[in-house]
Amino acid sequence: MTYRQRLSLFFIIDSCIVAVAIFLSWYLVSADINQIKFPIISSLVIIFAHHSFSIKYKLYKKVWEYASVRELLIIFKVVSFTILTGAIFQQIIIQDIYVRLLTVTWLLHLFLIGGSRFIWRLYRDSVMNKKGDKLRTLIIGAGSAGTIVARQLLKKESTLLPVAFIDDNVNKHHLDIMGIPIVGGVNDIVEVVKERRIANIVISIPSSNKQELNMILEQCAQTNAKTKILPLLEDIMTGKVSVTQFRDVQVEDLLGRDPVNIDIGSINESITGKTVLVTGAGGSIGSEISRQIARFNPMKLILLGHGENSIYTIEMELKENFPSNIQFITEIADIKDEHKIMSVITMYKPDVIYHAAAHKHVPLMERNPEEAVKNNIIGTRNVAQAANWNNVKTFVMISTDKAVNPTSVMGASKKIAEMIIQNMNENSQTKFVAVRFGNVLGSRGSVIPLFKRQIEKGGPVTVTHPDMVRYFMTIPEASRLVIQAGALANGGEVFVLDMGEPVKIVELARNLIKLSGYSVDEIGLKYTGIRPGEKLYEELLSESEIHKEQLYPKIYIGKTTLTYLTEIDRITKVYETLDREILRENLLAIANNRAIREQPSTAMLI
């Protein structure tokens, strides 16, 4: 129905309602047939007044299937002003006001107009919105956000049926919102899900902190209901998502730790108006670092990477989402190419370099140690030497917790890269620092996407060992730490985020299974054994590196022991001639400051 047709229909309906209200009230109050002329004239005046006030207060533009108290107040105003106009007409024409008549007319008018509007909503709620196959849903949070969620779920198009609220405010218990009862607090979730046959849980408490959310998720994980979370309010307000586009529970929701904050002032000083280069800018970490840097309005942001598709993707995203005054420059280059890296850095002379390019996959580097040497060691040295040669102010290298007492080729190669830049820091105007990460959620190679794919396929979820524990952080957290490290750097430090307690991988897998709406028995857990190079426990700093003082809240610093570069130089010259197992042993020996194994004459380090 077009707006014009809708307007005409309301004109006809309301005209009839007003006429009925006037004549019915006349009959009830007076019933004097001899004075029928008066109600006819009054009806014409009141009908005209009703339409005038309806247009003024936009009564004909309301969508009545979603009517609420606000619309009822508008009806009250329109009817009241209409009857007041009728009273003024009576006073002018007959110098008298029929108070009883107008009062009855006002009541009938209000009842019939209001009823004609709200009957559509009643029809929608009671007839159109039949329960059908809708999934029974528990809403956690009976505040404003939870109320919005319930109202949206009660619509016809929703596939979820809200049947109860959970809220820790005891003053709300035993009350209801839109006919939906508030049945208890967070500790009652398991019992409520069982008693009311809940299939879905929606968490709608946007103000909750990580600890509170973790408590809720622990309760939800004890049920077989699928758990969803309300999107961020700013995403709803900006139109990125609707209130019914609940997101799945993410692993960062289970960490129980609030994200690290950053010092805006110091970062502005180091980035705003400067030239910044990011290596590996197309990767999951490098691209997020680039996004975070762009927020601080650098003059130039150079996106360097080996893969053209990923570099093009991040370039287009940044140009679309950030101010046009930032100059985004893309360079397709391999950090193993010493001459190309030197020419790029010499050309742009960046103030800060964030070195994110690296091979990070532990099992793959165990099988291909020569690639770890080329990319992680030689590539880092190429970028660091070019930074030193061009007097770059700050060089920040992304390292890993696997560089602490390394047992893998990947960890050893990153430890050796740390040694290179720390030695270079001793005789350079450039401030060289490293930032160690735990496992980064959502990054390429992360175990979490693997768990989710396995759950979607019906299992089993594979875990290497029941006692395996890891530190976790999010990509934005990691990226903010990198940028903050660049602003705080004095040279030679290893920066580490306080990531709280390590997480047991098997418990993480179990929680993901349960919060996806399955039981562990349904999906299954399978232990596959520790992979080559893996440790059961990761460390962030070795005992010799630990500094008790924090330079910044939640950020620790340490200094690793400097080493002579002779052995590193030797192995980077002959690594391609070495047997992979011998190369692996020698990388671990250098990284752990042990003696290099003697080699056969055909593959000797010289």
C-beta separation of 293 from 271 below 8 A:
yes
Name the residue among 333, 358, 354 with its Cα closest to residue 410: 358
When mean pLDDT is compared across 100-114, 206-220, 223-237, the lowest value belongs to 223-237
pLDDT given for residue 245 in this prediction:
55
pLDDT given for residue 604 in this prediction:
42
Helix axes 505-515, 210-220, angle to 10 degrees: 70
Question: Rounded to whole angstroms, how far apart are CA atoms 517 and 515?
Answer: 5
Most confident residue range from 54-58, 75-79, 87-91, 353-357: 353-357
When mean pLDDT is compared across 223-227, 418-422, 440-444, 517-521, the lowest value belongs to 440-444
User: ω into residue 460 within 30 of 0, thus cis?
Assistant: yes
C-beta separation of 558 from 543 below 8 A:
no
User: Would you report the helix, strand and coil content of the chain in percent, each value rounded to 5?
Assistant: 50, 15, 35
Tell me the per-residue pLDDT of 358-412, one tens digit each, with 9 for 90 and over: 998 888 999 999 999 999 999 999 999 999 999 999 999 999 888 888 889 999 9
- Span 214-235, average pLDDT: 75
Between 214 and 379, residue with greater pLDDT: 379
Per-residue buried b or exposed e for 23-61, using 16+ beta carbons within 10 Å of the residue's own CB = bebbeebbeeeeeeebbeebbebbbebbbebbeebebbe
pLDDT given for residue 372 in this prediction:
94
C-beta separation of 227 from 138 below 8 A:
no
Tell me the per-residue pLDDT of 413-437, one tens digit each, with 9 for 90 and over: 999 999 999 999 988 999 999 988 7
- The confidence band for 37, taking pLDDT boundaries of 50, 70 and 90, is low
When mean pLDDT is compared across 95-99, 228-232, 308-312, the lowest value belongs to 95-99
- The confidence band for 564, taking pLDDT boundaries of 50, 70 and 90, is low
pLDDT given for residue 35 in this prediction:
60
Same fold, 135-249 and 264-591: yes
Question: Rounded to whole angstroms, how far apart are CA atoms 474 and 515?
Answer: 19
Q: Is 413 exposed, middle or buried (0-12, 13-18, 19+ CB in 10 A)?
A: buried
- The confidence band for 444, taking pLDDT boundaries of 50, 70 and 90, is low
State the DSSP code for 188: G
pLDDT given for residue 396 in this prediction:
94
Coil/strand/helix, residue 198 = coil
Tell me the per-residue pLDDT of 240-279, one tens digit each, with 9 for 90 and over: 445 455 666 665 566 555 555 667 777 888 899 999 999 9
Name the residue among 288, 343, 349 with its Cα closest to residue 313: 288
Helix axes 284-294, 475-488, angle to 10 degrees: 60
Between 478 and 309, residue with greater pLDDT: 309
Mean residue pLDDT across the chain: 80
Half-sphere exposure of 259 (CA within 13 A, CB side): 12
C-beta separation of 165 from 146 below 8 A:
yes
The domain locations on the chain are 3-128, 135-249, 264-591
- The confidence band for 3, taking pLDDT boundaries of 50, 70 and 90, is low
Coil/strand/helix, residue 224 = coil
Report the first-to-last Cα separation within the chain, whole angstroms.
Answer: 87
Token output for 109 = 């008018």
Between 564 and 4, residue with greater pLDDT: 4
- The confidence band for 337, taking pLDDT boundaries of 50, 70 and 90, is very high
pLDDT at 355 over 90: yes
Side by side, the strands of the sheet bearing 247-248 are 160-166, 135-140, 200-203, 226-229, 247-248
Per-residue buried b or exposed e for 340-378, using 16+ beta carbons within 10 Å of the residue's own CB = bbbebbeebebbbbbbbbbbbebeebbebbbebbbbbbb
- The confidence band for 606, taking pLDDT boundaries of 50, 70 and 90, is very low
Architecture of domain 135-249: 3-Layer(aba) Sandwich (3.40)
Token output for 372 = 């770890």
Q: Which superfamily does CATH assign the domain made up of 264-591 to?
A: NAD(P)-binding Rossmann-like Domain (3.40.50.720)
Question: Distances in Å between the alpha carbon of 193 and those of 159, 163, 200?
Answer: 18, 10, 9
Backbone phi and psi for residue 562, each to the nearest 5 degrees, phi listed first: -70, 150
Tell me the per-residue pLDDT of 100-123, one tens digit each, with 9 for 90 and over: 777 888 888 888 887 777 676 666
- Span 308-316, average pLDDT: 94
Token output for 29 = 């109050």
